[in-house]
A and B are shown apart, each in its own frame.
Chain A
Amino acid sequence: MSTRMRILIAVVGFVSLVAVALAAIGSAAGPTRRAAHAGTPGAVSLDPGPRLIARSTARDTRDHLVAVAASDPAGPRTVAQISCVRVSAAGGTGICLRLADGLRTFEAVVLGPDGTEHRALPLVGVPNRARVSPSGRLVTWTVFVTGDSYNGGRFATRVGILDTGTGDLVSTLEDWAVSVDGRPYQAEDLNFWGVTFAPDDRYFYATMSTAGRRYLVHGDLTTRSIRTVRENVECPSLSPDGTRLAFKSAVAGDPDRGWRLSVLDLAGGGVLPLAETRSVDDQAAWIDARTVAYGLRRGGGHADVWQVPADGSGAPSVLIPDADSPATLAGPVEPSADRPKT
């Protein structure tokens, strides 16, 4: 092949490859930018009421916080201006974890009852879980952090908790007093994720991993202490009456084989696998005293919020189509309340 020919082929090849790349970037940029400008300021109120919030995965409103009526969750949705990678809300307070400018860093944004941004905190790492305490006073998030000592720069998780009343910030649980099986425990490889608050704004449950084991832990914000409760419980979610925990249970104790959504009875210690048999990698949300909701991906960047009875009966069904990160705005439920299900 002559040199001239080679150069010709190279030029033609390079130009067409650049064209393909630019076309791909252009076709992604259009809808993404349109979606970014969707939503109306103040459209979504976080005041307690018979509504659910979620994060949209629909093409034209992707990532936006949306609200739907609890009586018609698949029906019309109001779209907020704010975009998040994870949202949650309770007691008139919302938390939105989102990409900050520059797309390199993230921030946790605390939202007030009218959906306005009250406070933004920079996050170190990629956010993953978010929760608000039933009273709306405490917010928490989990981020994946690159590079903790023991694993040579691989991912670790870190939990943050903010008291929106006092402004006190817990930036990590790793320096708290930890006890495993009742004995004081110290290790470099402590990882925490998936906090869920008790209604008293003092106690919480979370997941802790150390030395290859994953524990359900009980934490106390007043004494800054943490104790293990049992093993193989991840991403707990406390029921409105505080007696049960929905969680993801590693199939046969091996996370590689997927997760089974289950409910733990805190008093009796019994574990009930729920009717959802697909692998659910999410921190479930209680939408009433006997139903949990969770996001399930369905490819192409879309997800649906599903619901399943918390007593192991029934079958899963779609609650909010084309969304994830669900939460209910219904106020605290009385333990005895037996509300009709929609």
Chain B
Amino acid sequence: MYLSTIDRPAKDAARSRRPRRPPAGISANVLALGAVSLLTDVSSEMVTAVLPLYFVLALDMSPAAYGVMDGLYTGATALLRLVGGYLADRTRRRKRVAGVGYAISALAKPALLVAGGSMPALGAVIVADRAGKGLRSAPRDALITLSTPEPMLGRAFGVHRAMDSAGAFAGPLVALGLLAVVGAASPAAFDALFITSFCIACMGLLTLALFTRDRRAETSPAEPVTARAALGLLGSVRVRRLVYAAALLGLATIGDGFVYLVLMDRQGFSAGWFPLCAVGTNLVYLTLAAPFGALADRWGRKRMLLCGYTALCVGYLLLFGPLSATWTTVLVLGCLGMFYAAADGVLMALAGPVLPASLRTTGLALVQTAQALAYLVSSVAFGLAWVNYGPATATRVAAGAVLAAIAVTAVLLPEPAPEEALA
């Protein structure tokens, strides 16, 4: 259905009128990128959802082997993200770099079939899939900022993230439906699932190639993009503050897995329901991402970010709060979803205008990497705190960390431009 909406603005005549279009619409490019993300997320999440099953049932792997595979997920992407961002800026071919990232992840699906039961091959495929994800996020977000007038960035990111998480929401359901149709979790069923996932990823690639446009002409070609200029980004106080804020965001989040574990313990429900927690959070996230993004544009993105933190803090405190188990689950999942809706895209919308257009991909990659690495640190730290002090104390400490993050962010981040623009 998005095909008809992105049809018209692609024409040159419409393009020249773009700045005078009413600010109510979302750029066709953003919608197309959202569709690409949606399809890609369906493709990757349907595989992620069954990967443990596949390893254990079809490949007969032991728990130790699974742990090794799982560890490969993290840390495989940080450096590549920066390199990809820099390359995209230097060649000003953001769409192409993003496309390479999408293509690598798409090709990883049939590669899973070829890898069979070989551990090193499977490891390589999973790292390649994650590398593709790392490569594409920053150029894609840069394209969103470059396709959207500054006052509407929050809404644009909100719409994109809503479509993105709708894909993540649908992926596991597609996988379960497929296994149910085939009738068993047999090796043949997994083969069919990987092929289907590949086909959906190809649809995403096709959408990217046909319906998104690079914004090469609109960036200033006068300034050459050099490694020095990229490093120079860190010389700017505003950029540094952004990176700090992103790292703080990463540090304050403890990993959804931990939160769901506490909920499971308190509820006494079995680990089989574990994936459903993520479904609940995603549902709230995808519902609220667009309205929160739009609200952030009108009301102030920094303020929205702080509200997101507050929701996170409340969520952590509720984990060992006075409410009944059911209410605790509902409210905590709601708080988590609200936090993501108010923080994830909004941070990118905050970052976009601060970064010069010629270095925007590098800058966004920097912000995302800071957040990802800090998140890794906080996950490990929280795990240790859990083991040493117990979950109740650990989550309260985490809530305290969020409060600290609120205070520091309030001081650190400059009042964002949109409020000034609207005033």
Contact mask for chain A residues 99-133; partner B; CB cutoff 8 A; 1 contact, 0 none: 10011110000000000000000101110100000
- Knowing A10-B210, A149-B387, A153-B258 touch, does A25 contact B181 (C-beta < 8 A)? yes
Q: Report yes or no: A85 in contact with B183, Cβ–Cβ below 8 A.
A: no
CB of B270 within 8 Å of the partner chain: yes
CB of A189 within 8 Å of the partner chain: yes
CB of B11 within 8 Å of the partner chain: yes
CB of A266 within 8 Å of the partner chain: no
- Knowing A6-B210, A10-B211 touch, does A148 contact B56 (C-beta < 8 A)? no
- Knowing A3-B10, A150-B383, A153-B274 touch, does A24 contact B192 (C-beta < 8 A)? yes
Q: Report yes or no: B188 in contact with A17, Cβ–Cβ below 8 A.
A: no
Q: Report yes or no: A155 in contact with B70, Cβ–Cβ below 8 A.
A: yes
List chain B residues, Cβ under 8 A from A219. Answer: none
Query: Closest approach, in angstroms, between the C-beta of A202 and any C-beta of chain B?
Result: 27
Q: Report yes or no: A281 in contact with B62, Cβ–Cβ below 8 A.
A: yes
Query: Closest approach, in angstroms, between the C-beta of A213 and any C-beta of chain B?
Result: 12
Listed stretches A31-39, A45-53, A221-229, A306-314; interface member: A31-39
CB of B179 within 8 Å of the partner chain: yes
Interface residues of A in 146-167 (CB under 8 A from B): 146-157
Q: Report yes or no: B65 in contact with A255, Cβ–Cβ below 8 A.
A: yes
CB of B224 within 8 Å of the partner chain: no
List chain A residues, Cβ under 8 A from B53. Answer: 126
CB of A299 within 8 Å of the partner chain: yes
Q: Report yes or no: A32 in contact with B199, Cβ–Cβ below 8 A.
A: no
The number of residues on chain A lying at the interface, defined by a beta carbon within 8 Å of a beta carbon of chain B, is 70
CB of A144 within 8 Å of the partner chain: yes
Q: Report yes or no: A125 in contact with B185, Cβ–Cβ below 8 A.
A: no
Interface residues of A in 1-27 (CB under 8 A from B): 1, 3, 6-7, 9-10, 13-14, 17-18, 20-21, 24-25, 27
Q: Report yes or no: B271 in contact with A149, Cβ–Cβ below 8 A.
A: no
In Å, the complex CA distance between A32 and B275 comes to 26
Contact mask for chain B residues 380-397; partner A; CB cutoff 8 A; 1 contact, 0 none: 001100110001000000
Task: Give the residue name and chain of the A residue nearest to B256 (CB).
Answer: A153
Give the interface size class of chain B: 35 or more
In Å, the complex CA distance between A279 and B258 comes to 35
In Å, the complex CA distance between A261 and B51 comes to 27
Contact mask for chain A residues 182-195; partner B; CB cutoff 8 A; 1 contact, 0 none: 00000111010100
- Knowing A25-B192, A152-B257 touch, does A17 contact B186 (C-beta < 8 A)? no
Q: Report yes or no: A9 in contact with B186, Cβ–Cβ below 8 A.
A: no
- Knowing A17-B202, A147-B260, A155-B52 touch, does A10 contact B178 (C-beta < 8 A)? no
Q: Do most interface residues of chain B lie in helix, strand or loop, or is the interface mixed?
A: helix
Query: Closest approach, in angstroms, between the C-beta of B281 and any C-beta of chain A?
Result: 13
Picked from A1, A10, A35, A154, the residue with its CB within 8 Å of the CB of B206 is A10
List chain A residues, Cβ under 8 A from B57. Answer: 85, 126
List chain A residues, Cβ under 8 A from B64. Answer: 209, 214, 255
List chain A residues, Cβ under 8 A from B229. Answer: none
In Å, the complex CA distance between A83 and B192 comes to 21
Interface residues of B in 176-234 (CB under 8 A from A): 176, 178-189, 191-192, 195-196, 199-200, 202-203, 206-207, 210-211
Q: Report yes or no: A145 in contact with B271, Cβ–Cβ below 8 A.
A: yes
Picked from B116, B206, B379, B386, the residue with its CB within 8 Å of the CB of A149 is B386
In Å, the complex CA distance between A14 and B210 comes to 12
Q: Report yes or no: B211 in contact with A63, Cβ–Cβ below 8 A.
A: no
Q: Report yes or no: B206 in contact with A188, Cβ–Cβ below 8 A.
A: no
Picked from B10, B200, B387, the residue with its CB within 8 Å of the CB of A188 is B387
CB of A62 within 8 Å of the partner chain: yes
List chain B residues, Cβ under 8 A from A1. Answer: 210
Task: Give the residue name and chain of the A residue nearest to B54 (CB).
Answer: A126
List chain A residues, Cβ under 8 A from B61. Answer: 281
List chain B residues, Cβ under 8 A from A36. Answer: 183-184
Q: Report yes or no: B199 in contact with A147, Cβ–Cβ below 8 A.
A: no
List chain A residues, Cβ under 8 A from B420. Answer: none
List chain B residues, Cβ under 8 A from A29. Answer: 181-183, 192
Q: Report yes or no: B271 in contact with A146, Cβ–Cβ below 8 A.
A: yes
In Å, the complex CA distance between A124 and B59 comes to 20
CB of B3 within 8 Å of the partner chain: yes
Q: Report yes or no: A299 in contact with B116, Cβ–Cβ below 8 A.
A: yes
In Å, the complex CA distance between A157 and B54 comes to 16
CB of B63 within 8 Å of the partner chain: yes
Q: Report yes or no: B199 in contact with A17, Cβ–Cβ below 8 A.
A: yes
Q: Report yes or no: B183 in contact with A152, Cβ–Cβ below 8 A.
A: no
Interface residues of A in 213-249 (CB under 8 A from B): 214, 234-235
List chain A residues, Cβ under 8 A from B271. Answer: 124-125, 145-147
List chain A residues, Cβ under 8 A from B199. Answer: 17-18, 20-21, 24
Q: Report yes or no: A103 in contact with B184, Cβ–Cβ below 8 A.
A: yes
List chain A residues, Cβ under 8 A from B415. Answer: none
In Å, the complex CA distance between A1 and B270 comes to 54
List chain A residues, Cβ under 8 A from B382. Answer: 152
Q: Report yes or no: A124 in contact with B52, Cβ–Cβ below 8 A.
A: no
In Å, the complex CA distance between A128 and B386 comes to 28
Query: Closest approach, in angstroms, between the C-beta of A84 and any C-beta of chain B?
Result: 11
In Å, the complex CA distance between A6 and B209 comes to 9
Q: Report yes or no: A83 in contact with B184, Cβ–Cβ below 8 A.
A: yes
Query: Closest approach, in angstroms, between the C-beta of B212 and any C-beta of chain A?
Result: 11
CB of B119 within 8 Å of the partner chain: yes
Query: Closest approach, in angstroms, between the C-beta of B357 and any C-beta of chain A?
Result: 26
Task: Give the residue name and chain of the B residue nearest to A26 (CB).
Answer: B192
In Å, the complex CA distance between A191 and B66 comes to 14
Q: List 20 A-B contacts (CB under 8 A).
A: A9-B210, A10-B207, A13-B203, A14-B203, A17-B206, A24-B191, A24-B199, A28-B189, A29-B181, A32-B183, A99-B185, A124-B270, A144-B63, A146-B52, A149-B391, A151-B383, A154-B66, A155-B67, A193-B63, A255-B64
Q: A24-B199, A29-B183, A104-B272 are in contact. List 12 more A-B contacts (CB 8 A).
A: A3-B10, A6-B10, A9-B206, A21-B199, A29-B181, A32-B182, A146-B52, A147-B261, A147-B264, A187-B387, A188-B387, A297-B59
- Going nearest first, the 6 A-B pairs with the smallest beta carbon separation are A153-B257, A301-B187, A28-B192, A24-B195, A28-B188, A21-B196
